[in-house]
Amino acid sequence: MRVILALDFDGVLHSIHGAAFEHLRRFESILRQFPEVDVVVSSSWRETYAWEDILSYFSKDLHPRFIGPTPVLSVDSQQYPAHVRYLEIRKFLADSGRDPHRWIALDDDVSLFPPMCGELVLCDAKKGLDAATARLLRKRLWQLQKIGT
């Protein structure tokens, strides 16, 4: 059974003050180690850039594993609902018929998720996907892979 990885860009694939996509190779290396993982883009970039433009940042061999963006929840007021990114990921899972227990979010903003969200792998926005966070992501993906077999 496939695992979904919900991917943020800013503060993850690059630190807030770093070069754009400075951690892309590290991220792609992890994806190649876990071929059962598909990626959904949860980054705010999905609201600004065309899907083809987003895909162009990633190696072509990985494009088939990028299965789409999460939906953008419509907001009736000036404020986003609490934990909006979590809700968008859950909606994607429900709408696509994916297992609601086989996903991980790689993000730098804890406020977008409920407290103690077990699916969140949190990056420090000042570092992005550093070696320590990459190790944690690998561990969590390995655990999900083990459970699914």
pLDDT at 146: 82
97 domain residue, yes or no: yes
Contact 136, 23 (CB under 8 A): no
Displacement of CA 27 from its chain's centroid (Å): 11
pLDDT at 147: 77
1 domain residue, yes or no: no
Q: Which domain holds residue 90?
A: 18-148
3 domain residue, yes or no: no
pLDDT at 47: 87
What total of structural domains would you count in the chain? 1
pLDDT, averaged in runs of 10, over the chain (149 residues): 94 93 97 97 90 96 97 68 90 94 96 95 97 98 82
Contact 3, 121 (CB under 8 A): no
pTM value? 0.92
pLDDT at 48: 93
